[in-house]
Structure 1
Amino acid sequence: MSTAGPPDPTTTADAQAPLVRAGVRAATVRLLPLLFAAYLLNYVDRVNVGFAALTMNADLGLSAAAYGLGAGLFFIGYFFFEVPSNIILHKVGARLWIARIMVTWGIVASATAFVQGEIGFYVVRVLLGVAEAGFFPGVLLYLTYWFPRVDKARIVALLFLAVPLSSVIGSPVSTWLISLGEGTPYFAAGWRFMFFVEGIPAVLIGIAVLFLLPDRPAKARWLPAEQARALETTIDAEAAAGPGHDRGVRAALTDLRVLALSAVYFGVVFGLYVLAFFLPKIIKDFQQQFGTTYSLVQIGLVTAIPYAFASVAMVLSAWHSDRTGERALHVAVPAVVGAAAIAAALYTGSPLQVMVCVTICAMGVFAAIPPFWALPDRYLTGAAAAAGIGLVNSFGNLSGFAGPFVSGWLQDLTGSAKAGMWVVAALMVVSAMIALGFRQRGPAARSQDR
């Protein structure tokens, strides 16, 4: 329910447009940097285990399958607490709940430094998933309170830039911290030092959220009242005009379209997490395949390359999707390109060729994600959106469990990473085919997205 008051009936949509655009610009400048920093830290704390594995696996006695299982167990805790967390956020407000999530995950992330043995590794990964549950879908829900649909893919792309940039920045930083931490007092290994240090910023940003993140436009002291009213009037009107605006949580959770969107996201994100958890090891294995040798820091720098290109591809895809109002093709085409690239990587003859293919795959994965998150707005608002977005994200992120586990198991079984990469390619193609079912034709397509 809007708290900005009813719209002035004498104010036309055309007259409100400049106020809406000014409000969007102000919200982008004020909110996106904080949310971006929070999401960057979120992803670093989620996938830095991929760099820890370079030395942690031997220290803890983890096989490839055991490591893949532990890396993926994060998403089991995440899955079961995702929807409840998002519903709570919708009720109590984003400021309080996002701050709680960040402080909790920061503490657990730092506590990973003290894990002992295989079982301990499994437990702390589950607890980290429980702590982080609801953060990303909560932020997506929060954005629906501030930004009209016409801006959705662009805003999500600006936020999601944190994911590839977390690798561009986090990859060399994580490997540097591992190297720096070797022999540090109180830490028996560099990977323990890395975990401890990288969990602290999440706690600090979480505290900042309490003071800097207003729940809605009407509560933002820095936003002029007329811009706040224009923003909330526009967003409320979109919600009222959209299909399914009066549906409840149960209906959203059983909607076949929501389940189909979950399947699309599962396939796309499957590729993302396999890259995140196994790319450092793939690069390390170049020594055995091609006779090359890289230090830990060099592995971090090489790992960052695909994500730098993916950042550019994601922004361009989101911009074009918003400009044309088309969403489904902007999901399907990059997914197919990414699938073809990862399959091609299996039959290359040099590290450069492998990295080119992996880079194209990363570009495809990331280019598909911002247009994808513009699709749920067609069907869900309010409490239904809180539940539906949480369900889509939690089912999609189950690929974070399945991807590392299946890839690690297949690598142990076959002695090669090829089978796991074929699974990635196949699931991305399936996602593309399902996404095409959401394609709209004719004038209604753009008007509904917008």
Structure 2
Amino acid sequence: GIIFLFAAIGFYGYSFWAPLVVKSLTGSSDVNVGIILGAISAATIILMALNSAHSDRTDERPWHVAVPLLVMAAGFFGCALLSEPKLAVLSLALIPIGHCAGYGPFWSMPSRFLTGAPAAAGIALVVTIANVGGFIGPTIIGAMKDRFGTDGPAFMLLGGCAIVAALLAMTLGRAAVLRRTQPSNLN
């Protein structure tokens, strides 16, 4: 749940503020902002499917969650640090691509060590915890933009959240793999 919380903080921060960020970076009309964000969403869908398929083919989950989260972090850092609008928009595209590409592998991880009612309860808990990120992320961007007059510091913080999520995915994913491969002590 904590992995998804940190990822959701960044993603919801992006989701709520992306139209304004794209408009301020490009000076585009509302229609063109919608087209840009639609193209980003189309790329996200394609890369989400490719990452999930590769994860299934290799039967590997932690890296297929962590690497996309690092891509998400790179997107936030690029938005914060790049002054060229086209490069900043490309960096912005990495945020949903990185976040969503890890969905399939992420949601398959709990079923590797939970079944039945505990799995349902575990998934509900993960979603509940992540929904807190839906409040925190947009609030962080708004508060920090008011404080600093720019999105940069908020994007740096949200990029840090994505890195924390990636590290947790690797740590907890590795623990789940070790747990699954250890022989049981049934005597």
TM-score of the superposition, structure 1-length normalised? 0.38
Task: Look up the match of 1:277.
Answer: 16
Task: Look up the match of 1:389.
Answer: 123
CA displacement 1:314-336 (0-9 Å, x = unmatched): 10110011111111111111111
Looking at structure 2, the residues matched to 352 and 326 of structure 1 have their Cα atoms a distance apart, in angstroms, of 34
Residues 186-265 of structure 1: pairs in structure 2 closer than 5 A: 262-265=1-4
Looking at structure 2, the residues matched to 337 and 285 of structure 1 have their Cα atoms a distance apart, in angstroms, of 23
Looking at structure 2, the residues matched to 444 and 321 of structure 1 have their Cα atoms a distance apart, in angstroms, of 18
Unaligned runs of 5+ in 2: 183-187
State whether structure 2 residue 79 is matched by structure 1 residue 345.
yes
CA displacement 1:25-62 (0-9 Å, x = unmatched): xxxxxxxxxxxxxxxxxxxxxxxxxxxxxxxxxxxxxx
Q: Kindly provide the amino acid, as one letter, of the partner of residue 3 in structure 2.
A: V
Looking at structure 2, the residues matched to 303 and 421 of structure 1 have their Cα atoms a distance apart, in angstroms, of 18
Runs of 4+ in 1 over 6 A off after TM superposition: none
Task: Look up the match of 2:185.
Answer: none
Deviation larger for 427-436 or 334-343: 334-343
Task: Look up the match of 1:371.
Answer: 105
Task: Look up the match of 2:64.
Answer: 330
CA contact (8 A) 1:283 1:299 kept: yes
Looking at structure 2, the residues matched to 381 and 405 of structure 1 have their Cα atoms a distance apart, in angstroms, of 36
CA shift, 1:351, in A, is 2.1
Task: Look up the match of 1:422.
Answer: 156
Residues 93-172 of structure 1: pairs in structure 2 closer than 5 A: none
Unaligned runs of 5+ in 1: 1-261, 287-291, 446-450
CA shift, 1:405, in A, is 0.8
Q: Kindly provide the amino acid, as one letter, of the partner of residue 116 in structure 2.
A: G
Looking at structure 2, the residues matched to 326 and 301 of structure 1 have their Cα atoms a distance apart, in angstroms, of 35
Looking at structure 1, the residues matched to 71 and 38 of structure 2 have their Cα atoms a distance apart, in angstroms, of 20
Looking at structure 1, the residues matched to 152 and 39 of structure 2 have their Cα atoms a distance apart, in angstroms, of 21
Task: Look up the match of 1:436.
Answer: 170
Task: Look up the match of 1:304.
Answer: 38
CA shift, 1:284, in A, is 1.9
CA contact (8 A) 1:335 1:368 kept: yes
Q: Kindly provide the amino acid, as one letter, of the partner of residue 266 in structure 1.
A: L
**Matched-pair identity in %:** 33
- Decide which structure has greater helix share: 2
Larger Rg: 1
Looking at structure 1, the residues matched to 34 and 137 of structure 2 have their Cα atoms a distance apart, in angstroms, of 21
- How many residues end up aligned between the 2 structures? 178
Q: Kindly provide the amino acid, as one letter, of the partner of residue 104 in structure 2.
A: P
